[in-house]
Chains A and B, each alone.
Chain A
Amino acid sequence: MTAELFQRDRVWQPPAYTPNYKSSVNRSPNLAPLSLEMTQSELTAPRFGHDVIDPIDCDLIRNYAKTGDPIGERIIVHGRVLDENGRPVPHTLVEVWQANAGGRYRHKNDTYFAPIDPNFGGCGRVLSDAEGRYMFRTIKPGAYPFRNWINSWRPAHIHISVFGPAFAQRLITQMYFEGDPLIPKCAIINAIPDQRAIDGLVAALDLNETIPLDTIAYKFDIVLRGQRSTFFENRPEGN
């Protein structure tokens, strides 16, 4: 069990009701959430190990390849999983999913007419290392239209899911790419009220970590809620 977490900043995080992103209108609670003091139910979380996660899982260029490499710009996405204290979050599960280079998802419900890439599944997973570092190899996803307003487009993005050692740290977000002109137009991104929080979702081009003549790199750090460093009397175990 971890120490108690910092309170989640509900002004920094996107609110539930963001009418410019239309799907939120009928899927946002009207009533205020009930704030809890944390218990074991919030401060424990599942652990995953190398018995279930394979090394190939984080290589989206190869983990579904059938006849060759997928089409698209070869990229590395790397960074660290940290908490709000700046401490690494080691050995935690990071899962990603994305569209292919044409902006099409391998999903039975995606009907966009960009073609499916036979060599691209579009998902990966990896455990952060002892210093919280993680890395994926993939191809850069394409932008795609979505049904919001009649002319709404998603900037290129990778969906990212992270665990952390406490279930109340559970987070799903999306990573964007430095310089994408669609970022300031996107209704889903603009659900986030604070520009600094939006900037935190934009991965920086990282020429130091490219593989010359092979693969370009982007760096993206993920920050989970911090853990308090001290226990006071009112600790979750009681007395």
Chain B
Amino acid sequence: MVQSLNYLKETASQTAGPYVHIGLAPGAAGFDIYRKELGHDIAGPNAKGERITVTGIVYDGIGAPIKDILIETWQANADGVYPGAGDVEEGFVGWGRAISDFDTGRFTFETVKPGRVMGRNGKLMAPHISLWLVARGINLGLSTRMYFSDEADANAEDQVLNLVGPPERRSTMIASRDGSTYTFDIRVQGDNETVFLDV
């Protein structure tokens, strides 16, 4: 016999279900309850950097939009600093909640384009936004990153993108730019399936 390690086990995940909005975005569920709902303002009024809009649709395995998806976003500011890791602009939260439209499935959020953040072993990562997806039918939240199509040089040396084998798969993590809007569709299953991360 040996000593017990005495670690606890992580609480098991369960689906957020179709009514996740009640808890995390009650306005979308159809009622008003809190003084301030969280997750609506990622960058705040004082953030430096370029103001951008991100929009997309999350598709299921038969190509149908997932109309009840809730996406949380997490990013550094334009200087590549995460809140809690250094000083950021007053009002910069870096985190948001994007909810798909119940009729179309389209999600949209506004933020500033993040800067490059130091990755492992002293190498800069390409600008990216971390995404976490929950919905009915998703037993454990799905993690991915959204990179930017106009950052080809940074993307080419990004440690995470370079872990993805085939270039076609890498492209599932890169949003395409049109003006100040980036389009990022996510395919949860099947053809052109988005790369999800075991973080």
Residues of A within 8 A of B (CB): 1, 6, 8-10, 12-16, 18, 21, 23-31, 33-42, 44-48, 52, 54, 57, 63-64, 82-86, 93, 95-97, 105-110, 121-123, 125, 159, 161, 165, 167-168, 170-174, 188-189, 191-192, 194, 196-198, 200-201, 222-226, 234-239
Which of B20, B74, B125 is the one whose CB lies under 8 Å from A167? B74
Q: Do residues A14 and B30 form an inter-chain contact, with CB atoms below 8 A? A: no
| B137 x A30 contact (CB < 8 A) | no
Q: Which DSSP category, helix, strand, loop or mixed, fits chain A's interface?
A: loop
Q: What's the Cα separation between A54 and B93 when bound, in Å? A: 19
Q: Rank and list the top 10 A-B pairs by shortest CB-CB distance, nearest first.
A: A97-B23, A238-B122, A23-B137, A46-B95, A27-B137, A14-B139, A33-B198, A26-B61, A108-B30, A197-B12
Interface readout for B160-199 with A: 1 if CB under 8 Å, 0 if not? 1001100000000000000000000000111001111111
Contact A27 B9 (CB under 8 A): no
Residue of B nearest to A38 (CB): B199
Stretch of B48-56, B105-113, B140-148, B149-157 lying at the A interface: B140-148
What is the number of contacts between chain A and chain B, taking CB atoms within 8 Å?
276
User: Other than the known A24-B138, A26-B188, what 5 A-B pairs have Cβ atoms closer than 8 Å?
Assistant: A28-B61, A35-B197, A97-B23, A168-B143, A200-B12
A123 to B26, Cβ gap below 8 A?
A: yes
Chain B, residue nearest A22 (CB)? B137
A201-B160 contact in complex given A26-B61, A33-B197, C-beta closer than 8 Å: no
Q: Which residues of A contact B199 (CB under 8 A)?
A: 8, 36, 38, 42, 168
Chain A neighbourhood of B136, CB < 8 A = 23, 27
* B119 A63 Cβ-Cβ under 8 A: no
- Interchain CB contact under 8 A, A110 and B85: no
Determine whether the beta carbon of B130 is less than 8 Å from that of A188. no
